[in-house]
Amino acid sequence: MAYERPENELPLSPEEKPILLKQYFEYYRALSETNPSALNAKLPRSAFEDLLNELGEMLLAKSRSLASIEGPVGRQPVALSDRSTPTARVSGVLFGT
């Protein structure tokens, strides 16, 4: 499924945009004077844990499917040129030596 960017059903007029931005900056400027710690609030990782896990699973599934088909990503022979000799540790990982 291709991503479809949402469209704003109530777009601001060109005259309204600078007014809104001015209000936005004034609000945060005032907040920085009265409660600066509110501008640096940290969210716990647990707040995003489900989303991050879901994204990780999607990436793994997609990479597995791409690696198993012929194409620019999958099933390509590994060729190391003379100019790019791997270190001993990398050779061990790549070639099991």
Domain boundaries, the chain: 48-97
Q: Which of 17-21, 25-29, 62-66 comes out lowest in average pLDDT? A: 62-66
Which pLDDT does position 83 carry in this prediction?
57
Distance of CA 30 to the CA centre of its chain: 31
**Mean pLDDT, to the nearest integer, of 12-37?**
95
Average pLDDT for 62-79 = 73
**Which residue from 53, 22, 28 is spatially nearest to 41, judged by alpha carbons?**
28
Q: What is the rounded average pLDDT of the residues 21-35?
A: 95
Q: What is the pTM of this model?
A: 0.43
Which one is predicted more confidently, 52 or 64? 52
The DSSP output letter for 14 is: T
